[in-house]
Structure 1
Amino acid sequence: MSSKTEINYREFIKYVHLNFEEDISSEEVEDLLHLEESYNKDSPTSLGKSLLLNRLVFSGTKLSGEAINFDQTLHKGINIWIADNHKGKSTIFKIIKFALTGNDSIKKDIKLWIHEILLEFTIGKVTYTCNIDRTGRDKGALYSFNIDQYNSYKANQKLDTIQKDVEFVFNSRQDFEDKLQNFFFEQFSFYNLKYTQKSGGKDSFELSTSSLSWSTYFKSIYLESSNYEYLFFDNEKFGSQGKKIFEMILGLPLTYPINMLNVQRDRISEKIGQIKLVDKSKVDTTRSTKERLDKRYQEVIRELDSIKKNAEINFDERPLVEEYGKIQERANQIRINQRTLTDSYQAEKAKLIPVEEEIRNLESDRHKINTEISKLKKQELNLEIYKQSQSFFSNLEIKTCPHCELQVSDAKKENEREHHICSLCGEESTEQKVDESELSQKVTQIKEEIVGHNDKLKQISTTIGKAEALIKNIKKSVEDHYGKLIAIPSIEPDNRRLKEIESEIALVNKERGKYKDSIEKKDQLIKEEAILSFQLEEIKKVELNVVSQELVALNLKKSILDYALSALEKKRIVLNKDILAKLEQLILNEVNVFGLKSISQIEINDRYELIFTQNGVPISFNDLNEGEKLRVKIAFYLSLIQLDIEHRLGRHPRFLIFDSPGSEEMVPKHLQGLSDIFKSINDRFKDQLQIFVGSALREFAQITDEDRTFIKNEDEFIF
């Protein structure tokens, strides 16, 4: 969008703040005027997109059992259905409306006949097919391909496998309506314009906020027979809906900020009205209740004085309660200290167990090692004895057997040396004689083991010494903790005093019971005195006309919004001057072409109302007669489309539905003129727009090409 149709947001904030700089900061002004989206959200430049319906298919069963199989190819230019009244023309359009908006206005009895709807349409270069299954709760989908492809996928059971060509799936009518709105808003850059309206009686300040939906904007496409009397539709007075449709279709700059700030201002005005209503109520209350409240207040004071004089006994147990609380707190603290020191004492004692266990284990290890050393020393001694005895016997040579006294021959001695066969008994020896070096090595090894065990004994002795020192320290700590524990004072005196206090409080309550009624009365009067005092203070504030800070702040905000909106409206008049001038000229050209030569000028005023100069006199749309209204309305909507075609401005989708334009009571001259109007539109723009016309007038049979004319015989239904 060019800079000519934009507003500088920062400069705008500075401009507004300059007028209120003594009352509010620039940051607060920006907080008030800041919106979710840009002030330059709107653009009149056309997106170059149009809506073109290609084919409508729906099926079902009539109440009579007759099958419905409607399948109609649709074309650019004018498509017309001609049939008698109540023969299905409006139903065709309502089915199209339903498939494009999700808004179901089909007659309830006919609605039950229709089981499935398929509508194929093109936006820009993309073709879509909307499928609606009405056999239960409405469900279906919007696909980005044509009906033939849909039927092919369906026949091959592949619809559920499609993903990339599915725009959305819906499972209820509301879901369908919401998703269609999102889809078409995105396609044509539409959005919700909001408005407020009173939700209570005429004196109420409560407002409800509503939004213009895609279904509402669709009223600029679907021109129903009941609304030809109005430029937009019959209930456009609510929230100036007609004006807002006009702003959205044209994409007028600053529409978004003006709309949002208007809603914000309405809400602030609502709050101001509510506060003022409360203030007015306070003033009215002052006049009727002040004397009554004063009188009762004096009575209460007198009654309280009387009760105080008659009740000399003091039933105030608060000192006892305070003492009770302090003693309880002290006793609880003693219990906590006892638990804490007991836990510490037990924890210190528990430390002795593992250390004593460790010493026992070490003593056991020392005993085992000493036993092993004794065992090794015996082995060492035995080896020394063996070594000595072996040395003795190895030098002794036996020459004669001690038993038989026969000589031992040299051959037997040799055999003994080689085969270990005893030269005396002749038996083979299974034990080999131990070598002396081997015995020495074994002795050395035993000595080394003894040394190793002695080292271990030293380590064990050292560890035991440390453990015994630790035990000594722990026992000292245990003694200290025990001394602290037994030093804690007993809570028995406190417990006795608590019981005494409980008895004293019970006695006070018993005495109070004797004066129960007087005490209750006193309490009630004290409460009533406080309430009356508060009410009288509030009345004084109202009498002094004290304006709340909230009201001052709200009035300032409203003034800022008024000023900002006034500036934006003035700026928009400048920004929109060119586009509105082009539209005014287009409408004037068309109404003149349509035979209204008496209209010499058309002006769109600051409220976006059409002012016609007819025979030199300014008049509004409502001042035109029925025939003039119809022609002006057709000219108006056609001009919105021409604005896009000729000047690339606006967002109208170049698609219109005229349901029963004109009436059977029209004079032949006017009827022929209306027929000529449609024929002229078709001749001039048939490749650039699409218009559907439904009529019972046979005179319309020639307004478009034959392949776009669907004529039914008298008393024959469209489907």
Structure 2
Amino acid sequence: MNFKFDEFVKYVHEIYAADFSLEEVKEILFLEEDGYNKSVPDSPQKRLLLRRIILEGKKNEDTTFKYDRPLYSGVSMWVADNLKGKSTIFKAIGFALTGRDKFTPLVKTWLKYIALEFSIKDAVYSVVLNLTGAQLKAAVYSSAIDSLAGEEPLRSFKSKDGLADFMQELFFEEFDYYPIKRVQASQPSINLSDADLTWVSYYSSIYHQSKDYGNLDIGNQHAMVFQMLLGLEYTFSIHALEAKAKKAEREWSLKTEQEKNQSITVEDLQKMQNDLIATNEQILKLRTNTEKKAIEAIEERLHSFQQSRETTRKEKMDGEDRLYQMKTAFNSSQVEIKEKQDLIQHSTREINKLRKLIVEYQDYIDSGIFFNNLEVTECPHCDHEVDKDKRLLEKESKICMLCDHEMTAQVNDIEIWQLRIQEAKQEIERNRLLSETENQVLINIEQKVKINDKKFASLENEVLKLENVLENLDKSIKEAEGHRNQLRATIEGDYFSKFENLLEQKIKTENQIAVAEKQATLRLDNKLKRKAELLRTGHELMLKSRKKLGQATLFQLEEIMLNQLHSLGLSSYTRVVINPDNFIIHYHQGNVVNNFNDISEGEQLRAKLALYLSLIELDLEKGVGRHPRLIILDSPTKEEADIHFVEGLKKTLLHIEEKFGEQVQVMVGTANRELASIIKSAEKLDVSESGQFVF
């Protein structure tokens, strides 16, 4: 259902009608890109499924490696000692999906190639990263890895930022994500920033490292990401209005502070006004000087001359620039004319040469093509030269001059010469058309050159006139300066320095009085303040609307989370409550209410998994939300985990496999070999021996 923006504007206008017109309220509350309808709760019904990962590289001069593994729905696990490559696989996946490189410096020297195949609903994609050079070479394809041969990529990249931008566009479009506007609290400026909540922020709800398990925050913006994953209505408009309100509040605060710093007492104001009166009296006395008035007239005339000179100088420079450009264009035209003439002459020579060939070819045909391709010029018996008349007689009589046998024409030879004549005629026609085309171009260029020659001559004349004007102006300025200097020499004392100082003092005092009078009225501009209040009112109204519309969704999520906690072995929890204002989750255990940080370390990971599994289940069963249904757990047991935590995690992973199966993908990397027992499918388990690297 579309948001009724006009009704919203009318409602807010009724509150602020004394300060703003209806159109002003509409302009203040307007959000670009249909912002009030951007957030919808309906799920896009899509999931992100990783299908295959390939890593290639070289650990030292002799040891190369290639790790190629298919990936599956449900729970998959990598079991290996710490620092043996599990995290590298997950970081390679993150690099391919986000364009952000989280590798350690040592691993960066190893890896040379990464390929990741994944699907979103029915669409299959492959990301290929070539790390062999100093510059990243990356490409994204719309096909599986095995089908890349000869396939053109959707896009190629030479930087991480380019890849990151493309992957953000892809996932934002597929999952209906968008950047949320916000104002940095620490920013000294008042400019909006919408670059913080990106695809990388949303990816933090997928990839979880051991350092994250004691913290429920999603990235750096828990509440914002939570709202996006839930798909709550009006999320975009709420944050956009809040950002605009903060900007207006900041502007108001800066202006108020500035005016306070400039405040002046009534006594100071009176003193400045008295000083201004005294200064004006001194200026009036100085202006009664007769020589001064004459100098002022000369100064005005001199100023006029100088302005005219500056204007004329600029006109002359512009004219000279245009002359240079026209001269350059003329030279280019001459080169082009020479090229066209050469081309036409070449075509004419080719035509003449081809016409001669046609005559020769026809002569061969007319005289009959006999077995005389090898023309005899010397007698093979006595080495004497064969008379030319004998050769002509041979062609006419068709009787061989050597053996007196009659010669028979070769049909094939006639066809060959006829074909050559046809080819020569075609080449003549091609050269003729080329010559005609180039000749027309040549005519056009020459006409254009003639026109430009006239313009050049006219402009050159104008520049010459401007040069004469400049000479006359320089002469007039020199004469005026000389006259002024003579008059100045006749004035006694330091009149001019006094006059300049008095004018400077007068301007300074007038400015100070203007500020002081503004402060003395104690009337600050309240419209900016009211604008901030109006935006806050709009923001609060949108919050109330979302709170009402999203109440059912939050209640459903709370019920699903409680059931998930019980399924994960946390049966002591009796209720889950999500604060609709700040989205902090409260966990009830009887009469005791805990925040996430209050929960024991052994239960925090399961509580965190319960949140994400509940978001996925809300999407699957209620059609609400947009979590990608992919979870990566890197070292979930950590080294200090006790046996109760490990048993709880085993039950959690078994629960995920049994309840969600093919609907989600959970990837676990652990050094705890006891966890491997829960994986029943060999293809989903990768176990490395103690001390051995995964790849």
Q: TM-score, normalised by structure 1?
A: 0.67
For 1:527, give the aligned amino acid.
Answer: E
Deviation at residue 18 of structure 1 after TM alignment: 2.2
Equivalent position of 1:196 in the other structure: 183
**Pairing of 1:648-667 with structure 2 (within 5 A):** 648-667=623-642
Q: 1:143 aligns with which of 141, 144, 147?
A: 141
Whether 2:523 is the aligned partner of 1:543: answer: no
What is the count of residue pairs matched by the alignment? Answer: 520
Deviations 1:154-198 (A, max 9, x none): xxxx34xx3xxx332222111111111111111111111121113
Question: Which is further off, 15-24 or 131-140?
Answer: 15-24
Deviation at residue 505 of structure 1 after TM alignment: 8.1
Deviation at residue 112 of structure 1 after TM alignment: 2.1
Larger Rg: 1
Whether 2:17 is the aligned partner of 1:21: answer: yes
For 2:547, give the aligned amino acid.
Answer: I
State the alpha-carbon separation in 1 of the partners of residues 481 and 154 from structure 2: 79
1:702 match: secondary structure: helix
For 1:9, give the aligned amino acid.
Answer: F
Deviations 1:561-598 (A, max 9, x none): 11111111111011111211111111111112222222
Question: Against the structure 1 CA distance between its residues 516 and 717, is the aligned structure 2 distance closer, same or farther, given a 3 Å change threshold?
Answer: farther
Question: Against the structure 1 CA distance between its residues 8 and 113, is the aligned structure 2 distance closer, same or farther, given a 3 Å change threshold?
Answer: same
Question: Against the structure 1 CA distance between its residues 505 and 171, is the aligned structure 2 distance closer, same or farther, given a 3 Å change threshold?
Answer: closer
State the alpha-carbon separation in 2 of the partners of residues 576 and 17 from structure 1: 26
Deviation at residue 540 of structure 1 after TM alignment: 2.8
Equivalent position of 2:59 in the other structure: 62
Q: 1:711 aligns with which of 677, 687, 693?
A: 687
1:195 match: secondary structure: coil
Q: 1:615 aligns with which of 590, 603, 606?
A: 590
Is the contact made by 1:55 and 1:121 (CA closer than 8 Å) also made in structure 2? yes
1:24 match: secondary structure: coil
Is the contact made by 1:198 and 1:206 (CA closer than 8 Å) also made in structure 2? no
1:72 match: secondary structure: strand
Whether 2:558 is the aligned partner of 1:562: answer: no
Is the contact made by 2:295 and 2:484 (CA closer than 8 Å) also made in structure 1? no
Equivalent position of 1:522 in the other structure: 499
State the alpha-carbon separation in 2 of the partners of residues 31 and 536 from structure 1: 36
Question: Against the structure 1 CA distance between its residues 46 and 298, is the aligned structure 2 distance closer, same or farther, given a 3 Å change threshold?
Answer: closer
State the alpha-carbon separation in 2 of the partners of residues 656 and 500 from structure 1: 85
Whether 2:672 is the aligned partner of 1:676: answer: no
Equivalent position of 1:173 in the other structure: 160
2:501 match: secondary structure: helix
Identity of aligned residues (%): 33
Equivalent position of 1:439 in the other structure: none
State the alpha-carbon separation in 2 of the partners of residues 650 and 198 from structure 1: 29
Question: Against the structure 1 CA distance between its residues 12 and 281, is the aligned structure 2 distance closer, same or farther, given a 3 Å change threshold?
Answer: same
Deviations 1:108-140 (A, max 9, x none): 221121111111111111221111111121122
Deviations 1:454-495 (A, max 9, x none): xxxxxxxxxxxxxxxxxxxxxxxxxxxxxxxxxxxxxxxxxx
**Pairing of 1:619-634 with structure 2 (within 5 A):** 619-634=594-609
Question: Against the structure 1 CA distance between its residues 636 and 523, is the aligned structure 2 distance closer, same or farther, given a 3 Å change threshold?
Answer: same
State the alpha-carbon separation in 1 of the partners of residues 300 and 537 from structure 2: 67
State the alpha-carbon separation in 1 of the partners of residues 540 and 292 from structure 2: 70
Q: 1:510 aligns with which of 477, 483, 486?
A: 486
State the alpha-carbon separation in 1 of the partners of residues 211 and 301 from structure 2: 85
For 1:716, give the aligned amino acid.
Answer: Q
Question: Against the structure 1 CA distance between its residues 205 and 259, is the aligned structure 2 distance closer, same or farther, given a 3 Å change threshold?
Answer: closer
Equivalent position of 2:223 in the other structure: 243
Question: Against the structure 1 CA distance between its residues 266 and 209, is the aligned structure 2 distance closer, same or farther, given a 3 Å change threshold?
Answer: farther
1:217 match: secondary structure: helix
Whether 2:582 is the aligned partner of 1:597: answer: no
Is the contact made by 2:557 and 2:615 (CA closer than 8 Å) also made in structure 1? yes
Deviation at residue 659 of structure 1 after TM alignment: 0.9
Deviation at residue 296 of structure 1 after TM alignment: 11
1:258 match: secondary structure: helix
For 2:159, give the aligned amino acid.
Answer: S
Q: 2:546 aligns with which of 569, 572, 579?
A: 572
Question: Against the structure 1 CA distance between its residues 503 and 243, is the aligned structure 2 distance closer, same or farther, given a 3 Å change threshold?
Answer: closer
State the alpha-carbon separation in 2 of the partners of residues 597 and 500 from structure 1: 101
Is the contact made by 1:300 and 1:525 (CA closer than 8 Å) also made in structure 2? no
State the alpha-carbon separation in 1 of the partners of residues 262 and 495 from structure 2: 35
Equivalent position of 1:116 in the other structure: 113
For 1:612, give the aligned amino acid.
Answer: Y
Deviation at residue 210 of structure 1 after TM alignment: 3.6
Deviation at residue 142 of structure 1 after TM alignment: 1.2
For 2:20, give the aligned amino acid.
Answer: I
Deviation at residue 508 of structure 1 after TM alignment: 5.5
1:177 match: secondary structure: helix
Equivalent position of 1:40 in the other structure: 37
State the alpha-carbon separation in 2 of the partners of residues 603 and 323 from structure 1: 81
For 2:198, give the aligned amino acid.
Answer: S
For 1:519, give the aligned amino acid.
Answer: F
Equivalent position of 1:256 in the other structure: 236
Equivalent position of 2:557 in the other structure: 583
Equivalent position of 1:374 in the other structure: none
For 1:647, give the aligned amino acid.
Answer: K
Q: TM-score, normalised by structure 2?
A: 0.70
State the alpha-carbon separation in 2 of the partners of residues 48 and 717 from structure 1: 38
Equivalent position of 1:222 in the other structure: 207
Q: 2:667 aligns with which of 692, 698, 702?
A: 692
Structure 2 segments unaligned to the other structure (5+ residues): 306-474
State the alpha-carbon separation in 1 of the partners of residues 613 and 31 from structure 2: 34
Question: Against the structure 1 CA distance between its residues 649 and 310, is the aligned structure 2 distance closer, same or farther, given a 3 Å change threshold?
Answer: closer
**Pairing of 1:486-497 with structure 2 (within 5 A):** none
Equivalent position of 1:75 in the other structure: 72
Deviation at residue 54 of structure 1 after TM alignment: 0.8
Is the contact made by 1:293 and 1:532 (CA closer than 8 Å) also made in structure 2? no
Deviation at residue 521 of structure 1 after TM alignment: 1.9
Is the contact made by 1:101 and 1:180 (CA closer than 8 Å) also made in structure 2? yes
Is the contact made by 1:307 and 1:522 (CA closer than 8 Å) also made in structure 2? no
Deviation at residue 30 of structure 1 after TM alignment: 1.4
Question: Against the structure 1 CA distance between its residues 57 and 297, is the aligned structure 2 distance closer, same or farther, given a 3 Å change threshold?
Answer: farther
Deviation at residue 302 of structure 1 after TM alignment: 6.7
**Pairing of 1:422-441 with structure 2 (within 5 A):** none
Deviations 1:199-242 (A, max 9, x none): 457xx877755431111110011112221111134x62xxxx11
State the alpha-carbon separation in 2 of the partners of residues 320 and 299 from structure 1: 26
Is the contact made by 1:118 and 1:129 (CA closer than 8 Å) also made in structure 2? yes
Structure 1 segments unaligned to the other structure (5+ residues): 329-498
State the alpha-carbon separation in 2 of the partners of residues 516 and 115 from structure 1: 85
State the alpha-carbon separation in 2 of the partners of residues 519 and 193 from structure 1: 63
Equivalent position of 1:432 in the other structure: none
State the alpha-carbon separation in 2 of the partners of residues 78 and 503 from structure 1: 96
Is the contact made by 1:611 and 1:618 (CA closer than 8 Å) also made in structure 2? yes
Deviation at residue 618 of structure 1 after TM alignment: 2.5
Is the contact made by 1:682 and 1:704 (CA closer than 8 Å) also made in structure 2? no
